[in-house]
Amino acid sequence: MPLLTPVARSSCRIRFFTILCASLLVISARAEEESPAPSPSAAPMTENPLLQESSLDFHYPPFDKIKDEHFAPAYEKGMADQLKEIEPIASSAEPPTFENTVVALEKAGDLLGRVDRIFSNLAGANTNPALQKVESDMAPKLAAQQDAIFLNGPLFKRVETIYNDRDKLGLDDESKWLVERYYKDFVRAGAKLSEADKTKLKAMNAELAELQTKFAQNVLKEKNAESIVVDDRADLKGLSDNEIAAAAVAAKEAKNKAGTFVLPLQNTTQQPALTSLKSRALRERIMKTSLARNSHGGDWDNRQAVLRMVKLRAERANLLGYPNHAAYQLEDQTAKNVETVNKLLGELAPPAVANARKEAADMQQLIDREKGGFQLASWDWAYYSDQVRQARYAFDESEIKPYFELNHVLLDGVFYAATQLYGITFKERHDLPVYQPDVRVFAVSDKDGRPLGIFLADYYARPSKRGGAWMNEYVNQSDLLGMKPVVANHLNIPKPEAGQPTLLTFDEVTTMFHEFGHALHGMFSHVKYPRFSGTSVPRDFVEYPSQVNEMWASWPQVLEHYAKHYKTGEPMPKELLDKVLAAEKFNQGFKTTEYLAATLLDQAWHQISPAEVPNDVLAFEASALKKAGVDLPTVPPRYRTTYFSHAFAGGYSAGYYSYIWAEELDADSVEWFKQHGGLKRENGDHFRDTLLSRGGSKDAMKLFHDFTGRDPWIEPLLKRRGLDGAADPKATNEAPPPQS
């Protein structure tokens, strides 16, 4: 296993596996109170299944044998073993060579890597108080482990010697790139600092590890604890019967009194129920509860943690020779510098806000026509936006959901598109253990019929699972270590009552395709060194392949194949299908503005010096949004500072811009596919061979160039987002007629 470096090791919409291994955990306050965390006792080493490679296919984790108490002793042994493996590399009397130093580093830490991947993934997908305690205990120890390796002077000297001689060693391109990456990792980790400064850096890293873990746990505890409890079913008017039933199930799971309903909060500011709820008072309660998370006092208030993290990150950047944390982070991304990111965001924000204001005006006209007697507020946007969309495109979400049943979407949509494009096939397996009964396991075969990997599908929300959607890898592909991939996708779809179908929104369908794009990136990996496996690419590049895969959700050939009524099997009527496709650009002003507001907040916090760190989190946030011109009360940021886990609990600090950055590449690539005939095997094979299979084994933008044959164009992105000046052909300044 390669050293855990600051480069992303996993990919998802709201999570990165980081150097500090700070897993995002989900634990309800009630569960924590009722089930005190047991002390992770040291299980006998001979009985700990984590201490040896799994004998299951592809080294698939033996979930049925792994217990909470196995992790702490396995972590301790893994860290000890890694240091024992590193010591002879650093102290060798032999002249440093690529094999005895760099390749040896790639092979070191196998046990620690295995333990950490399994723990991090379970801690996010099926946590409990015992796992949370392990996370808190291990975060500073893992930070210290990293420092013990990257700040090892003799070890760095050997890496530096090989780096200086890299052009004389006759290395192949991937091996030479590995040398360059290792050298850069060491330098960025502080290997060139004085011993005194290394001591300072170690203290900073340890404290940051603890703060990031605390932040993540606070966000997830409050998200669960602040779920909206509704006593009267009448207040849920507007929700479908299935949604109300799911709220009743959630109330039972949360052990609320009989007859109540629970609307769990998602990580984002906006909440799904706001689209349908007719009760304005309830919509207001949901939005205000969402906006106030982790900022109103109590044990889960994150304001002081934010201020301390921002200061430590800025001080660490200065220590390493950078003006601020953003400059440090961006140097190692495809964007390269603060100026480039600021220019992109500065160009996108004004047209996005202008579009959002037009959208708000349309909704206000509708409110006035209905004699609502109030001004549009943030808790009204989703509801009235949906009313405008229904009128403009003559359909609503309830019409299309019966055509998006989860199993059909997965098998006849997500898998079907992958088979058509890449020739891979899927077979569900019931013989491999799972960590939770809802998890499904699929063996994946390559286009020649040979085994490719294993895919886990974990789609339902539950109290033990963090919010959002993400992909992770339990086993990373590597020719050096003879490993094939085991990858998983996670969503948070409300689970219906037993016997009822799981009907999805089109956003949830798109998310399934998105996350499977990450899974393909992991499964198609064909690299020698584990350092480059799968999604081990710059964070502002990792979302690009997954966003490309979203295009197949609405590709006519694919959509027609899976969009069938769950009762009758009839395909979605062409008229309705056409409306769904036509509405794809709808509400882009809002979507772009709420995203940019969060992105600009991330940059504002991380482009300041230690002396500029404020005393008041919320005041700084308000000032930053105003300065950037995105302070629309009706469009709050997708994440406010105090629950912005991307920025303060994971690898996206100063990196949340990555989604829009990657979307430029994505939109351009979608045009490439269209120009070359769309869903064709030769197109899929070309994308796989030039980009998906290469992982991080080459400069990311060179990979893009290898695929398209040119540099990226921004015009497709502007057109997609409605920022090119072209009007929506169905949009007008007239308010739609009132709805009955």
**Phi/psi of residue 472, each to 5°?**
-145, 165
Q: Compute the distance between CA of residue 188 and CA of residue 321 in angstroms, rounded to an integer.
A: 10
> What residue type is 270 in one-letter code?
Q
Q: CA 336, 342, 348, 353: dihedral to nearest 10 degrees?
A: 150
Q: Compute the distance between CA of residue 385 and CA of residue 281 in angstroms, rounded to an integer.
A: 17
Q: Do 674 and 331 touch, CB atoms closer than 8 A?
A: no
> CA-based Rg of the chain, rounded to a whole angstrom?
25
Q: Do 593 and 356 touch, CB atoms closer than 8 A?
A: yes
Q: Compute the distance between CA of residue 385 and CA of residue 654 in angstroms, rounded to an integer.
A: 31
Residues paired with residue 405 on neighbouring β-strands, in sequence order? 503
In the block, tokens 């806000």 appear at 353
Q: Report residue 153 as tokens.
A: 């002077």
In the block, tokens 């808790």 appear at 379
Sign of CA dihedral 152, 155, 157, 162: negative
Write out the E strands in 144-287.
228-230, 261-263
Residues 6+ apart with CB under 8 A from 674: none
Q: Which of 701, 707, 699 is nearest to 178 (CA)?
A: 699
515 tagged catalytic: yes
249-288: string of b/e by CB count within 10 Å (b at 16+)? bbbeebebeeebbbbbbbbbbbbbbbbbbebeebbebbbe
Q: Do 541 and 700 touch, CB atoms closer than 8 A?
A: yes
Sign of CA dihedral 662, 665, 671, 676: negative
Query: Considering 515, 543, 594, 664, which one is annotated as catalytic?
Result: 515
Helix (H, G, I), strand (E, B), or coil: what is residue 387?
helix
Q: Compute the distance between CA of residue 547 and CA of residue 638 in angstroms, rounded to an integer.
A: 19
Q: Do 98 and 179 touch, CB atoms closer than 8 A?
A: yes
Other Cβ atoms less than 10 A from the Cβ of 560: the count is 14
Q: Compute the distance between CA of residue 224 and CA of residue 217 in angstroms, rounded to an integer.
A: 11
Active site positions, annotated: 515
